[in-house]
Structure 1
Amino acid sequence: MQLDLLDKRATSPLVRLAALGALLIATCALVLLIEGTRADASIADKQDDLANVRDKQDDVAAQIADANQQINSLIGQVSEARQREEAAASELADAQKQLAQARDDLEAGREHLKEVRDQLHRAIGQLEDILVGVYKSDDPDAIRLLLESTQWEDDEVDAAYLDRLQQYQADTVQKVKDLRTEAANTVEQLADSETKIQEQRDDIQARHDELADIRSGLEAQEAQLAAAKQERAQTLASLNGREDDLQAGIARAQRRQAVAPPAIDTGTAPDVAAPAPSAPAPSNGSTATINSDGSATPPADAPAAVVAVIAAANKIKDAPYVWGGGHGSFESSGYDCSGAVSYALHGGGLLSSPLDSTGFGYWGEAGEGNWITVYANSGHAFMWVAGLRWDTSDTGGSGPSWSASSSGWETGQSWSVRHPAGL
């Protein structure tokens, strides 16, 4: 016969109560077992998802780094193309001046030739007038003297005088003719010179236009890469958010199992809002000083890398501001903001290739450093080194230089705050 523990007729109240307690315990154990199994499965799934997200983060970060390198290379090429374009424009302006001068000289030569021709006509006219006057004069002329005179000695003297007069006028006419020929040759040479200068001007104009097209093409490539990099940055931000969600889910599941969640290194560093960046004091409180010539002297206890960064920055202090300067190569005739920061950090062995301001948002480690702190966003980059600001704006000149104070225009902006490891 089957025993029904809940059958009041078959068991006593005490037995039924014990049976219900055993059933409740068994049910709770089964629920805990199922929930534990589900929690374990949920944690494992989330950990797998987290690993996949991190793999994607690494891929996207590598793509962003590659895009940064390409953009930096293009910035350098655009800067170089602009300089060549400006040089061609300067040559074009010089050629235009030479052409204008050649045209003025040609016009003056033509005017001179016209005057010489007028002189020739006047000289010929004067000669004709003299000969006609002698012929028509009531005074003895050469013909009458030669045909009628019996005093040959005097007549020969008068004839010789007339011959000399005629020869003088003939010489004058010849000189004017020679001058006209010379002036005509000069005009021809000036015309040839004008043609050659105009051809040179046209060649320079064509080269200038070609350089402008090259620059425009490079700028278009740079814009495309920047847009692609921005999309990847958004993808990375989305992955970072997904990573945070997964970590939170794992932590909740682990807390439910009364297991302390492990510390997880995300490997990413989001932007840090820094509305009013100021000089981060070195850990030991010592700061660099600015000398009378604008150079900086590091404190005696500064690390070697910091000393080298300051020495490198001193080499280019007050260099002219050149957009894109210091990106294609660390060595440049001028520097922009991120180019100046790149040059100084490279001098300290902290950077192997130039970065633009956006690239510095992912450089190094997040937060302020003890000795060096870089502030960067999509439009500008600067840094503090041993308590001094290295920047290309509001520092008394258009190029990079040292300052001991913050810049007012930077207040209120959002910055990514980074520092080199260990500094």
Structure 2
Amino acid sequence: MFFTKDRNSINESSGIKISFRSSEISNNSSSSSLSDVNSFRSSDRSSYTSTEIDTFRSKNYTDNYALKSSKSNKNDTQAIAAIQPDLIARTVSPPSSAAAGSTIQLSYEIENQGNASAGYSYTKFYLSQDLSLGSEDIFLGDDYVDNILSGYYRSESTTLTIGNSVAAGSYYLVYQADGYNYVAESNENNNAVADVINITKPDLIVQNTSNPSSAAAGSSIQLNYQIKNQGNASAVVKNNFGVTGIAYNAKIMALKTGGSSPSDESINSQAVVKAIRYAVDNGANVINLSLGSSSPNSDEQSAIQYAASKGVFVVSAAGNDGGTAPIYPARYADQWGLAVGAAYYNKTLADFSNRAGTTPLTYVTAPGAYFEGDLDLVGEDGHQLIGIYSTLPGNKYGFEDGTSMAAPHVAGVIALMLSAKKGLSNAQVRQIVTTTAANSLA
């Protein structure tokens, strides 16, 4: 079966191009086509002596027509078209690309161009690598379409999931009207149209690794590495699994800042400094620091200043002590970057979140916990709450609370801003975020 956007060139059974011509009606040496009949006006009847029009209706679709010779009954010629519906898919609007495992939204129209009403039907959807439907093509699903009167159409929309197993590449997304053949049509070979869609998949690699050349047994070592997405999709979204990040197409550069294992949350200040400078020198646009200390550190301050001078924005968690001021490095937001506190679902400041303090600095809040109250989940500090659902070490998902969960929300928003308008300065980002945030202290 061949598919093109020209619905009259689709033959779903043989692949042969079909063209339509109106039947011709002859009367001695003169002839008239059905399309000619459709253009006659009743006021012109007296001017046609060789042919009398008994019945016709001005429509854009084939209908019943009868022509009778006025000279001789022996030469009477009659052409009658069957009264049947004819469904076609039109005005399709698939996305130009989609990630394997994602869900896509489709809008389209089903038109009944026949001369009789059509009962309900289903539109079927496929991914095909050529212009022919076969057993090797990928069925994506179907969509219910209600009755359609002759000459009318219905606007439809549906969501479809691209399977995780679908290989990356270019496909034809096929829309097949009356996919289950519930409707007996005057033309069964013009139901399908197709448009191109590109399926993408991520391709993660580890690069820029560094480690000591030797280490004593039982000792801790410092490892630095970068995870890069070589593929043309950085993260799968809307796949009914896990979570979707704020800037789900952003590339992630993961840098180690301390701890000998995922469960070891200790922070090495020199590792933090090296990580910030490494990120700045290797193409990072936004740095998230969900870490901190109660004591200032001049090297960290210098590294954040260096990031700002290179146009890299630093977002820091305010801390979870319920204090009156942020911890460091968030407190450096009086000059560079942003400090982020945690808010509940109702936009009130979380009890555990550090406040902005009395020294003017750039401070906003973001989701850090859902609710605090009489619940089954208890945080490490003893308060009861529902945390933010997110990724955890070991390829897992779970609930965590704190300003460390709030800060990445803001980092994601800034990543979206920079993708929409490159070249925003540190001061411009601070101004835009704080003036548009619901809760902020600029």
TM band (smaller chain):
under 0.3
Larger-Rg structure: 1
- Indicate the structure whose relative CO is greater, using CA pairs within 8 Å and at least 6 residues apart: 1
Q: Calculate the TM-score normalised by the size of structure 1.
A: 0.21
